[in-house]
Structure 1
Amino acid sequence: MGKATGFMEYTRQTIPERDPQERTKDWDQYALPMSDEEARKQGARCMDCGVPTCHTGMELNGVTTGCPVYHYIPDWNDMVYRGQWKEALDKEHEQNNFPEFTGFACPAPCEGACVLGINEPPVAIRSVEKSIIEKGFAEGWMEPKPPKQRTGKRVAVVGSGPAGLAAADQLNKAGHNVTVFERDDRLGGLLTYGIPEMKLPFSIVMRRVNLLEQEGIDFVTNTEVGKDVSVEQLKSDFDSTILCGGATVHRDVPAENTALKGIHYAMDFLHANTKSLLDSDLEDGNYISAKDKNVLVIGGGDTGTDCLATSVRHNCKSLVQFDIYDKKGDVRDMMANPWPQYPVIHRVEYGQKEAESVFGDDPRAYAVMTKKFVGDEHGHVKEAHTVNVSLRYDEEGNKIREEIPGTEKVWPVDLVLVAIGFKGPDQGLIEQLDVETRPNSTVRSEYGKFTTSVEGVFAAGDMRRGQSLIVWAINEGRGAARECDRFLMGHTQLP
């Protein structure tokens, strides 16, 4: 530990952001680089914990705490403090194939498990992590390192999201010939089309993909396995397959008249916007525009926040975000939500900051349930009818939401964006491969083994575990690669 008193001398500082009003006028990154000196100070705040918990990912009461890829966080914090940036970069990559993806878009459960966070603001782990990888690329340290020899084994990876890319990277390191199939026209999966450009630029995704390509991985876009490439061809051309197709079947709002025009899934909205932005800077008009519309976002998570930020940039007329839960407190409840669980507290994310800067108020409405939508004479949505709800749990722990009489309200809306998550993966390829599934439709595959009911076929990421975090996807991609390597070679040296 380099600075024994660092946590007492320096206050927590995260990566700075551009002015909310200014950044809503463009699609550039909303975050700014952290200076080397500030990153050193933040690294210095890392304590010499007897038992650090930031780097050990687990689930407590169904919520992730600590880092699922077991990042050596105290080590690279100390290295940054000492100015050993290249060593920190190498240490970062020992456990995380893509620290830039987590640095840009992970909710940082590691910080929730930081020991300093028990009674002080936690170490700004994600900010230091991002600073390390960005410095690595800026200094030219991120050079391709192809394997010295090949095994002759061929592996197909279906899906180019974080799980697929992590699996491909690990298997390529082991010397296998890897082909990644992506059904979209661009690589990255939801990293590209699910996270807006101002939050995770496509150039950041492709910067890494280009490196992987130089290391020998083959990427095939506009190709849906099971349709453009048959299952028979997959089996004949490859020795093994890893399914990393994600969980892309949307959840529906349990309300009346959801088929009205103007009601869209959030991911359709974000996907079309990013594609049009990258294709033509929105000049082609092939996107769902929020311009001059009363926009309603249903869902209080990250995807809902991304919809806010996108709608503001479209110059929407008004903006509201429904959250089914009550507003959380600013400080964690140490009885119901003790350390090291992820702090369940009120947060103001970049999209809410931007909406407030434009419209004057935080756009969120809490404990709101949508009952029905009403359309105009053309079948286009014009109203959302809601009621406030209270939450209780029955004897078996099931959530029961009860309507509060007298809280009914009608909201004028022109565009509704549904951002309440995903039910599971598409079933087309799963059925063609005759892979067993769980009752929730995810692929039946034991964590740690990642094998499916079909020999030589593995599954990882959201397709196996259901909707989750980028960092879990990387964890599972690495794990599936390890077990695939063991299947192919009879042994493995992959971590």
Structure 2
Amino acid sequence: MGKVTGFKEFERQDEANFPVEERIKHYKEFTIPLAEEQIKKQGSRCMDCGIPFCHSGCPLGNLIPDFNHMVHQGEWQKASWILHSTNNFPEFTGRLCPAPCEKSCVLGLIEDPVSIENIEKNIVEQAFKEGWIKPQQPKTRTGKTIAVIGSGPAGLAAAQQLNRAGHLVTVFERDDEVGGLLRYGIPNFKMEKEIIDRRIEILKLEGIVFKTNVNVGVNYNIKELKSFDAIVLCGGATERRSLPTPGIDADGVVQAMDFLTQQTKVLFGKKVENQILATDKHVIVIGGGDTGSDCIGTSNRQGAKSVVNFEIMPKPPGHRSPTTPWPFWPLQLKTSSSHEEGVERNWLINTKEFIKDKNNKLTALKTVNVEWKMVPGERPQLIEIEGTEKIWPCDLALLALGFTGPEKTLAEKLGIEFDSRSNYKADYGKYQTNIPNIFTAGDMRRGQSLIVWAISEGREAARQVDIFLMGKSELPSKDIAGDLVAM
């Protein structure tokens, strides 16, 4: 695979970004693509390792050395075919995935790992440019009808796979546009929405029916689902975590997803009343994950006076922690492009109170420094450090605390059982709920997770639905993905 000495000859090279002062003036993507010859060199770094661990790092089981090799040889169309054989939407993962494959790359043991994610993005962009990505309509139809509820990556992947098996698929989305959190939860500067739209057009031409502004169980009678032969629930984990903190009801304490969704809707000319803005405000983002990072980038683009980030956990090490050795996902400090655009980051800090004025307007936050006491065999204990209380001026506090699980309404109306973590209960590998013709996949089944896991679960669930309906399936499984490629 690749060039035998490629990883010795060429260093890892990533896309550059436009300067901070330029990119924060707009909401477009701001990466500077590498030239084709540079990408081919990056593909050549794939080192022909004896046992490639990148496969196991990728939830989709992507055939990474295979498409790297094709890029190295300039066989872009073959690379696209290999990539799409396991991943329905590499244009999403190539932009948004944290790339667990790279963290398990064998080359990463001795040097910088292969730039797998960027190679993936370039393959699919080349494929769209050349017109290789075309609708794949099934040769025959089974007559079986399937309802997919939720149009995020899990729902879209399930829909496309089931349509390819010849079933008639209808996707229900409660929002006004298709895409789930890809549409409104991910800022445009991380992925422009035209990227979603061009793929949705392909899916429509393949025969999938999309119905937006349809909230099943609210403005769509749940009884109407009985007309479908099978149902796949892919509604995501959308119950937002809050804080049991005094003053949480202050005007100015806002859930991050509301803030991000409003900005994206306004960007595309949609009506938003009383938009939450960071303009000329002291902003504090509580939560150090990707959503917190997105809030930082959006706040800077809106012209915040200051942006501060709180994280209750300790600051991760700059390099892979010994507690998470290769090839596992590392405990390691992550600095995103949004962090680079301007933020004061703070770790081991806990919010004690949201301070408000007589008009219920947020004016400040009271915090205390903390430490974690580790006792073998017991849960970690959060200890406040005496004498460390501090008041921070704050006009807008954004809660980027993640999600506790899926909303329960749909499960309760359908009679779906929950697991011990309040997710919709369905065994991994089967995806079938306690009601035989109802399946579930993605965050709704596994809890808050990665886009790449959602696509993987959508694909695998589709195979199980096909088996349920037809007694067998020719849809691929990641367990047999290697059989797909015979070059």
TM interval, short-chain normalised: over 0.9
**1:181-239: CA deviation from partner (whole Å, max 9, x where unpaired):** 00000110000111001101111011111110111000000000112222210112x10
Give 2:296's aligned amino acid: L
Q: 2:262 aligns with which of 261, 272, 285?
A: 272
C-alpha displacement of 1:322: 0.6
Which runs of no fewer than 5 residues in structure 2 stay unpaired? 477-487
1:221 aligned partner: 212
What pairs with 1:43-192 in structure 2 (closer than 5 Å)? 43-56=43-56, 66-192=57-183
Q: What is the root-mean-square deviation of aligned Cα atoms in Å?
A: 1.2
Distance 2:94 2:298 in 1: 21
| Rounded Cα–Cα distance in structure 2 between residues aligned with 1:399 and 1:14 | 38
Question: TM-score by structure 1 length?
Answer: 0.94
Q: CA deviation at 1:253?
A: 2.0
Shift of 1:403: 1.1
Contact 1:254 1:371 in 2 (8 A): no
Name the SS of the counterpart of 2:133 in structure 1: coil
- 1:424-466, Cα deviation, whole Å (9 max, x unpaired): 1111111000000123221010000000011200000000000
Give the AA of the match of 2:279. K
Structure 1: where are the runs of 5+ without partners?
Answer: 57-65, 356-361
SS of equivalent to 1:369:
strand
1:343 and 2:330 correspond: yes
1:353 aligns with 2:340: yes
1:227-266 deviation line (CA, Å, top 9, x unaligned): 2222210112x10000000000001123221111110110
CA distance in 2 between partners of 1:285 and 1:230 (Å): 29
Displacement of 1:392 in angstroms is 2.9
Residue identity opposite 2:117 in structure 1? R
Q: Is the alpha carbon distance of 1:397 and 1:211 closer, same or farther for their aligned partners in structure 2, counting shifts above 3 Å?
A: farther
Give 1:401 shift. Answer: 1.4
Matched, 1:325 2:313: yes
**1:390 Cα deviation from its structure 2 partner:** 1.1
Pairwise CA distance, 1:285? 6.1
Cα distance change of structure 1 residues 148 and 7 upon mapping to structure 2, 3 Å threshold: same
8 Å CA contact retained: 2:353, 2:365: yes
**Alpha-carbon shift at residue 395 of structure 1 (Å):** 3.0
Q: In structure 2, what is the Cα distance between the partners aligned to 1:332 and 1:174?
A: 43
Q: Distance in 2 between matches of 1:127 and 1:116?
A: 16
- Cα shift at 1:284: 6.1
CA contact (8 A) 1:170 1:478 kept: yes
1:291-310 aligned at under 5 Å gives the runs 291-310=279-298
Confirm or deny that 1:372 pairs with 2:363: no
- One-letter identity of the residue aligned with 1:307: C
Q: Aligned partners of 1:100 and 1:2: how far apart in 2?
A: 23
SS class of match (1:95): coil
**Distance (whole Å) between structure 2 residues aligned to residue 184 and residue 81 of structure 1:** 42
Q: Residues of 2 paired with 1:301 and 1:465: CA distance?
A: 18
1:19 match:
19
Alignment match of 2:432 (pick from 437, 442, 451): 451
Distance 1:397 1:200 in 2: 42
CA distance in 1, matches of 2:246, 2:212: 38
Residue 358 of structure 1 is matched in structure 2 by none
Question: Which residue pairs with 1:62 in the alignment?
Answer: none
1-side partners of 2:84 and 2:248: how far apart? Answer: 45
Tell me, yes or no, if the aligned pair for 1:461 and 1:473 is still in contact at 8 Å.
Answer: yes
Secondary structure (helix, strand or coil) at the match of 1:279 reads coil
Inter-partner Cα distance in structure 2 for 1:278 and 1:371? 37
- Taking the aligned partners of 2:272 and 2:289, their CA distance within structure 1 comes to 30
Specify the alignment match of 2:485 in structure 1: none
Which residue type is aligned with residue 216 of structure 1? G
Q: CA–CA distance in 2 between the matches of 1:379 and 1:312?
A: 25
Deviation above 4 Å: which 4+ runs of structure 1? 283-286
Q: Residues 432, 383 of structure 1: CA spacing in aligned structure 2 closer, same or farther, 3 A cutoff?
A: same
Q: What is the CA–CA distance in structure 2 between the aligned matches of 1:441 and 1:114, rounded to whole Å? A: 34
Instruction: Summarize deviations over 1:162-190 as a string: whole Å, max 9, x none.
Output: 00000001000100000000000011000
Is the 8 Å Cα contact of residues 184 and 261 (structure 2) preserved in structure 1?
Answer: yes
Deviations 1:441-493 (A, max 9, x none): 21010000000011200000000000000000001001110000011111111
- Superposition TM-score, scaled by structure 2 size: 0.96
Q: Which of residues 354, 360, 368 is equivalent to 1:387? A: 368
Check conservation: 1:381, 1:413, Cα contact below 8 A.
yes
**CA apart distance, 1:142:** 1.1
Q: Identity, % of aligned pairs? A: 50
By how many angstroms is 1:397 displaced? 4.5
Q: 1:279 to 1:10 in 2, by over 3 A?
A: same
The answer to whether the aligner puts 1:256 opposite 2:246 as a matched pair is yes
Contact 1:276 1:285 in 2 (8 A): no
Q: Write out per-residue CA displacement over residues 386-439 of structure 1, whole angstroms, 9 at most, x where no aligned residue.
A: 111112333335222111122211100000100010001111111000000123
Amino acid of the residue matched to residue 473 of structure 1?
A
Which AA in structure 2 matches 1:191? L
The residue type equivalent to 1:366 in the other structure is W
> How far 1:14 moved relative to its partner?
1.5
Matched residues in 1 for 2:436 and 2:323: separation?
A: 44
State the one-letter code of the partner of 1:482. R
* Mean Cα deviation higher: 323-332 or 215-224: 323-332
Give, in angstroms, the shift of residue 13 of structure 1.
1.2
